[in-house]
Amino acid sequence: MPAATDIVVVDDDASIRDAIADCLRQHGYQVRVAADAAMLDALLAQQRSALIVLDWMMPGEDGLSVCRRLQASGIPILMLSAMGSTPDRVIGLEMGADDYLAKPFDPRELLARVRALLRRAHKGETVAPSTTLHFEGWELQVEQHRLLTPEANEIALTRGEFALLRVLVERAGRVLSREQLLRLTRGEDSEPFDRAIDLAVSRLRRKLAQASAGGDALVQTLRGEGYRFAVPVVRR
């Protein structure tokens, strides 16, 4: 069982890595450090982490590749990068990062992002009801965090993708604005980012379409309004 506050900091720059680790430890977190992807894998093999603070630019396997590879693990990832432009941030989020912070950054902002991600993850882990939501032959198993296609194949969703789908399915037929979806999936303290929800919906639709014909049509776009889950849902 992983420690609730265990965080792994991954950065090939020792000074940055140690500074982040010291900051987090001063605020009560258990921190392990890694200089590259191989060291990260070794640490995760020993003990699952509650959060990964991951640098983008590293020798060998870079942060984007690591993020893409670990996105189905359910471990929240805070991506760090000296490239802070909107396109760079979009790429990081598309690869499955839960949040993105440009270097240089204020330690107080780092702490705020870490706390927000941990709170969000904790909420997801403490969902009590054992419920299965059925729609068009699909099954969304809420407590187990599983999505099954009409062909009974399981789709690997990231924590954020699952949260987004659950919010849409539980409010089937309702039009939800981007702001509502951001608040419902990431919490009241989430940072507004115009394209964050659009990117998340795009990734989710792509996975649904790849898994079963017509899967992308489950979520409708209403231009200027937001998104709506388009088919009836039965709760069992």
Q: In terms of domains, do 119 and 157 share one?
A: no
pLDDT tens digits, 53-111:
999 888 899 888 898 888 767 788 998 987 755 565 566 666 667 888 888 889 999 99
Q: How many domains does the chain have?
A: 2
Task: Name the strand (E) or helix (H) holding 122.
Answer: helix 107-125
Residue where a domain stops, chosen among 79, 98, 125: 125
> Dihedral (C-alpha) 25, 26, 29, 31: value to the nearest 10 degrees?
-10
Domain membership flag for residue 1: no
Residues 86 and 140 in one domain: no
Strand partners, 155: 147
Confidence (pLDDT) at 52:
95
- Among the three residues 93, 125, 157, which one is the final residue of a domain in this structure? 125
pLDDT at 130 > cutoff 80: no
Q: What is the CATH number of the domain that holds 82?
A: 3.40.50.2300
111 and 148 assigned to the same domain: no
For the entire predicted model, the pTM comes to 0.60
Q: Six-digit token pair at 59?
A: 């020798």
What is the residue range of 10's domain?
Answer: 6-125
If you search the block for the tokens 């902002």, which residue do you land on?
A: 109
β strands within 57-183, DSSP E: 77-81, 99-102, 132-135, 138-141, 146-148, 154-155
Whether residue 12 lies inside any domain: the answer is yes
Which CATH number does the domain housing residue 144 bear? 1.10.10.10
The residue among 227, 235, 232 whose CA lies nearest residue 205 is 227
- Residue linked to tokens 């993105």: 100
Q: Which of 125, 157, 186 is the last residue of a domain?
A: 125
Whether 148 and 58 share a structural domain: no
Q: Are residues 105 and 157 in the same domain?
A: no
For residues 18 and 117, membership in a common domain is answered with yes
- Over its C-alpha atoms, the chain yields an Rg (Å, rounded) of 18
**pLDDT-above-90 percentage for the chain:** 50
112 with 178, same domain: the answer is no
In a domain, 200, yes or no: yes
| Same domain, residue pair 142 and 171 | yes
